[in-house]
């Protein structure tokens, strides 16, 4: 059976999406577990103005594990987990900024350049979470549906 170029491209994209999704899932489960085994390094990322640093680390660890497991295994909710993961990456971004501004070394990020690269990589994670779960397509449909509703009101 010969695949058309379009079918082949779709199959390759599907394989890439699965690979990225499982890579993100594994990363989240691994990182989430690290919140409990390497708590000190994770507390270094919590902005100093936030109270309950250790509790924030533990709660975010649980969230990361749940997001990772959901991405990997809960197919019917994949889009929701993709959106939730993207939002989570956005919510933890201030911690990465704090680590950069306060020049806090953790996880091998012991230079301003390493910490800056991490900041630049965060949007890539947001896009990856939305792309590999097909959340972009669903968000686009919602936006278009909203535009249709607005134009029907006029």
**How many beta carbons lie within 10 A of that of residue 77, not counting itself?**
13
Burial (CB count <10 Å: 0-12, 13-18, 19+), residue 70: buried
Q: pLDDT by residue (tens digit) across 61-74?
A: 999 999 999 999 98
Q: pLDDT by residue (tens digit) across 83-141?
A: 999 999 999 888 888 878 877 777 777 787 888 888 899 999 999 999 999 898 887 77
What share of the chain has pLDDT > 70, as a percent?
93
What is the pLDDT, as a whole number, of residue 21?
95
* pTM of the complete model: 0.81
Render the burial of 82-93: b for 16+ CB within 10 Å, e for the rest: bbbbbebbeebe
Is it the case that residue 20 has pLDDT exceeding 90? Answer: yes
In 31-134, the DSSP E strands lie at none
What is the pLDDT, as a whole number, of residue 149?
63
CB 58 within 8 A of CB 112: no
Alpha-carbon span 23 to 20, nearest angstrom = 5
């Amino acid at each position: 059976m010969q695949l058309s170029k379009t079918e082949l491209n779709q199959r390759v994209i599907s394989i890439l999406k699965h690979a990225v999704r499982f890579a993100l899932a594994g990363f989240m489960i691994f990182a989430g577990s690290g919140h409990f085994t390497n708590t000190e390094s994770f507390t270094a990322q919590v902005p100093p103005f936030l109270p309950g640093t250790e509790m924030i680390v533990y709660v975010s660890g649980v969230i990361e594990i749940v997001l990772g497991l959901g991405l990997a295994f809960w197919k019917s909710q994949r889009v929701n987990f993709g959106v939730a993961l993207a939002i989570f990456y956005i919510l933890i971004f201030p911690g990465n900024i704090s680590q950069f501004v306060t020049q806090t070394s953790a996880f091998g990020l012991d230079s301003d350049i390493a910490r800056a690269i991490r900041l630049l990589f965060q949007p890539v994670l947001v896009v990856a979470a939305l792309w590999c779960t097909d959340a972009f397509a669903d968000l686009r449909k919602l936006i278009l549906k909203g535009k249709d509703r607005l134009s029907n009101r006029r």
